[in-house]
């Protein structure tokens, strides 16, 4: 069964902390994505990567960075967490070529206090 696994379901962090969200996929997919989900705003793309060590900014990259050192792992980093980064974070992966659907992890609900 195909799988995208996010390291935590729930996280509580303090303002100013550096936060790491980890995502691992076992499908050998080239593309990986980080989205943020907020009520009434749907899913918004933070960053994506279409190859190891490659990254592209999405619609809302400010305050975030990413790392992809291995094909199966894509990390989202909040350099200095702020309360407005409290949200549900969703990782996804897909094959290249465009026709493949994206597979999602179970989500990480991050609360910054």
Partner 1 sequence: AQSVAQPEDQVNVAEGNPLTVKCTYSVSGNPYLFWYVQYPNRGLQFLLKYITGDNLVKGSYGFEAEFNKSQTSFHLKKPSALVSDSALYFCAVRDITFSGNTPLVFGKGTRLSVIA
Q: Which residues contribute to the site for partner 1 (CB under 8 A)?
A: 4, 9, 30-31, 33, 35, 40-43, 45, 48, 50, 58, 90, 92, 96-99, 101-107, 109
Q: Which is nearer to partner 1, 14 or 101 (CB)?
A: 101
Least Å distance between CB 9 and partner 1? 8
Q: Which is nearer to partner 1, 15 or 65 (CB)?
A: 65
Residues in the chain: 113
Centroid of chain to Cα 3? 15
DSSP-derived pairing of the beta strands 4-6 and 73-78: unpaired
Q: How far apart are the first and last CA of the chain?
A: 36
What backbone phi and psi angles, to 5 degrees, belong to 83?
Answer: -60, -30
The label of the residue with tokens 């060590």 reads 53
Least Å distance between CB 21 and partner 1? 13
Q: Which is nearer to partner 1, 67 or 104 (CB)?
A: 104
């Amino acid at each position: 069964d195909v799988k995208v696994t996010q390291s935590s379901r729930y996280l509580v962090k303090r303002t100013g902390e550096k936060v790491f969200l980890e995502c691992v996929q076992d499908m050998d997919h080239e593309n990986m994505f980080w989205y943020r989900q907020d009520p009434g705003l749907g899913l918004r793309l933070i960053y994506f990567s279409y190859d190891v060590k490659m990254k592209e900014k999405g619609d809302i990259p400010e305050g975030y960075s990413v790392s992809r050192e291995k094909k199966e792992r894509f990390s989202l980093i909040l350099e200095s967490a702020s309360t407005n980064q409290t949200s549900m974070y969703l990782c996804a992966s897909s094959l290249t070529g465009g026709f493949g659907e994206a597979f999602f992890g179970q989500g990480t609900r991050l609360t910054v206090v």
